[in-house]
């Protein structure tokens, strides 16, 4: 049995939002003296993208017209959050530069999510 898209997107968006707040606070307080300026900038970019896409997931959860396209958007935003900010967090903490090869896949997932939302709204009657 599959979870309704609104429930999945609502839970995932809420978790991602809470974790973005925690990551932002962690970066501002615990990492400020441990990371250099470039690493802190990467960390902040990750927090920003995670937070904005957590809000996108919540928007999908609140759509009054759930559809296959909104399910694709929710999944793509979730995958994008794991890959894009996730890889930036890892790089900021000193992961090998090769981890950066994952980041564009997260960006593509975000683009797929936004495109799926465009389609969902375009198909709405």
Task: Write out pLDDT tens, residues 2-16.
Answer: 678 889 999 999 999
Are 12 and 57 contacting, i.e. CB atoms less than 8 angstroms apart? yes
- What average pLDDT does the structure give for the chain? 95
Given this model, what pLDDT does residue 5 score?
86
Report how far apart, in Å, the C-alpha atoms of 36 and of each of 33, 39, 45, 117 are: 8, 5, 14, 37
pTM: 0.93
Q: Which distant-in-sequence residues (6+ apart) come within 8 Å of 116 by Cβ?
A: 69, 70, 72, 73, 76
List, for residues 69-104, the tens digit of each pLDDT value.
999 999 999 999 999 999 999 999 999 999 999 999
For the chain, list the strands marked E by DSSP: none
Are 69 and 117 contacting, i.e. CB atoms less than 8 angstroms apart? yes
């Amino acid at each position: 049995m599959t979870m309704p898209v609104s429930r999945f997107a609502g839970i995932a968006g809420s978790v991602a939002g809470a974790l973005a707040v925690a990551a932002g606070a962690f970066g501002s307080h615990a990492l400020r003296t441990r990371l250099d300026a470039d690493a802190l900038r990467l960390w902040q970019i990750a927090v920003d993208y995670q937070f904005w896409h957590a809000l996108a997931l919540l928007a999908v959860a609140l759509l009054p017209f759930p559809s296959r396209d909104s399910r694709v958007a929710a999944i793509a935003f979730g995958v994008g959050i794991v890959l894009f900010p996730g890889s930036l967090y890892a790089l900021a903490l000193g992961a090998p530069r090769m981890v950066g090869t994952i980041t564009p896949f997260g960006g593509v997932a975000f683009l797929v999510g936004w495109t799926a939302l465009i389609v969902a709204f375009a198909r709405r009657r």
